[in-house]
Amino acid sequence: MSKTIWVDADACPNPVKEMLFRAADRKSVPLILVANQLIRVPASPNISVVRVSSGFDEADNYIVEQLQNGDLVITGDIPLASDAIEKGAMVFNPRGDIYTVDNIKQRLTMRDFMEELRSSGVHTNGPNSFSQADKHAFAKALDKWLSRL
C-alpha cells in the first residue's frame, strides 16, 4: 500500500502547498489536504481535499483517524504532530522542522509554556514570516521522505 501525505491545510503556506502538488504528481503519491475552509487544488488523480466542519480540532482529528503507519503529516500544530507520531507517521512542519519521538515532548512543553505566558498577558512575538530558507528546508525534508518511497 502506498504512503499518503496528509496536510493540515488551513494554515499551510501556499509555497509549501505548491511544492506538495508537484511532488504528488511527480511521484504519484496520494496527497490529501484537510481543512475547514475551501482549498483550491489542481486537477489531479493524486490530490484531494477533505473539508471538515469548523469545530475545534476537526481537521486534526480527521487526519489522526485516517492516517496509517509510515504516512507523512505536514502540520505546525504540535498536539497533532504528537498524535501522528504516536500512530507511526513521519511529521514535519511547513518550515521543514522534523518532529520525532525524541523531540515532541519538549515541543509540547514549550508550546504549553508559551500559551501560559500569553494567557497571563505577556506579549510574545509570533513566528517569523515564512522565508526562502524555510522553503528550502521544507523542500529538503520532503525530498528526503520521498526518496524513501
d(CA 139, CA 96): 7
Q: What angle do CA 110, 144, 67 make, to 5 degrees?
A: 65
Q: Where are the alpha helices (DSSP H) in 30-69?
A: 58-66
Amino acid 143: pLDDT: 95
Residue 126 has pLDDT above 70, yes or no: no
Residue 86 has pLDDT above 70, yes or no: yes
Average the pLDDT over 52-67 and give the result: 90
What is the percentage of the chain residues whose pLDDT exceeds 70? 91
Residue 5 has pLDDT above 80, yes or no: yes
Average the pLDDT over 90-114 and give the result: 81
How is 76-136 classified by DSSP, letter by letter? Answer: S-HHHHHHHHHTT-EEE-TT-PEE-TTTHHHHHHHHHHHHHHHHTT-----PPPP-HHHHH
Residue 52 has pLDDT above 90, yes or no: yes
